[in-house]
Amino acid sequence: MRMRAFAKRNLKELLRDPLTLFFGLGFPLVLLVLMNVIQRNVPVHIFELDTLAPGIALFGLTFMALFSGLLLAKDRSSAFLARLAASPMTAADFLLGYLLPMLPMAAGQTAICLGAAVALGLPLSWNLPAVVLSLIPSALLFIALGLLCGALFNDKQVGGMCGAILTNVTAWLAGIWFDLSLIGGPFQAVAYALPFVHGVEGAKAALAGDWTALPGHLLWVSLWAAAVLGLAVGLFRRRLVER
């Protein structure tokens, strides 16, 4: 009940923020259309929709980190969180209350991005819902990264961490814009140790119906998501009551 009331509040706060709607829905669509136009005007195959759409769907999820981080950091900086911290709400109520409303938002964002890709020429198939499902661990990861930043930093710092650094790290290390093997070496090794490229490759595997490649990528992203979420819960619990 407590968690539900808090989750409802968070969903309303997010949906009533124009920044959420623009960056959450508009920006990935702009990127998708732009890259598609570029692809149509160059002779080589670099931004084909079957590789571009899963990548941009994952890139769009980086904004979930920004939204969750900003929401938590703003609540922490205001007396609002102190009021709730003095209520019977537990750390689990808080974290689930922040996390749960963002998961359907993330799934909706992915579905809209894929819908736009279909409108641009991506073949309609039963694998598209599987792409949405395959990106849920990635959504969880980005929301958890946002909550971790929100528990550690103020809203301006979260804007820098999640809005600039995380989006850049994801853009470079997820293999969205170029094949990581083109660089190879330590760069590729680091990228594959991190979860972002596995999120993209898992989504590509789901789109291609390659069900043997999918579990390995999902597992790696899920392990990272669980670790980051655990860290966020621990930090938030410490921040909730001053020692």
Partner 1 sequence: MNAIEILGLTKEYGGRRVVDKLELSIPAGELFALLGVNGAGKSTTIKMLSCLTVPTEGDAQLMGHSVRRDGHAAKEILAVSPQETAIAPNLTALENLELMAGVYGRSRERVDQVMERLDLARWAKARARTLSGGWQRRLSIAMALVSQPEVLFLDEPTLGLDVLARRELWGVIRGLKGHTTIILTTHYLEEAEALADRVGVMNQGRLRAVGTAEELKALAGCDSFEDAFVALAGEGAAS
Q: Is 12 in the site for partner 1 (CB under 8 A)?
A: yes
Cα angle for residues 32, 34, 39 (degrees, 5° grid): 95
Listed in sequence order, the residues at least 6 apart from 34 whose beta carbon sits closer than 8 Å to its beta carbon are none
Cα(first)–Cα(last) distance of the chain, in Å? 28
Nearest to 135 by CA among 71, 36, 217, 79: 217
Q: Is 18 in the site for partner 1 (CB under 8 A)?
A: no
Task: Return the number of other C-beta atoms located less than 10 Å from residue 193's C-beta.
Answer: 12
Distances (CA, A) of 93 to 1, 89, 165: 9, 6, 29
Cβ proximity to partner 1: between 70 and 218 the closer is: 70
Q: Is 6 in the site for partner 1 (CB under 8 A)?
A: yes
User: Cβ 93 to partner 1, closest distance in Å?
Assistant: 8
Cβ proximity to partner 1: between 96 and 208 the closer is: 96
Only segment of 6-14, 172-180, 197-205, 230-238 that touches partner 1 (CB under 8 A): 6-14
Token code pair at residue 115: 């819908």
Cβ proximity to partner 1: between 12 and 40 the closer is: 12
Q: Is 89 in the site for partner 1 (CB under 8 A)?
A: yes
Concatenating the DSSP letter of every residue in 199-232 gives HHHHHHHHHHT-TTTHHHHHHHHHHHHHHHHHHH
Cβ proximity to partner 1: between 2 and 103 the closer is: 2
**Contact string 109-148 vs partner 1 (x = CB under 8 A):** ----------------------------------------
- Residues 54-83, interacting with partner 1 (CB under 8 A): 78-80, 82-83
Q: Is 5 in the site for partner 1 (CB under 8 A)?
A: yes
Q: Is 17 in the site for partner 1 (CB under 8 A)?
A: yes
**Choice from 1, 42, 44, 124 touching partner 1 (CB under 8 A):** 1
Positive or negative, the CA dihedral 104, 107, 112, 118 is negative
User: Cβ 86 to partner 1, closest distance in Å?
Assistant: 4
Residue 212 CB burial class (10 angstroms; 0-12, 13-18, ≥19) = exposed
**Choice from 43, 88, 185, 186 touching partner 1 (CB under 8 A):** 88
Cβ proximity to partner 1: between 87 and 154 the closer is: 87
Nearest to 67 by CA among 109, 123, 116: 109
Q: Which residues bind partner 1 (CB under 8 A)?
A: 1-2, 4-6, 8-9, 12-13, 16-17, 78-80, 82-89, 241-243
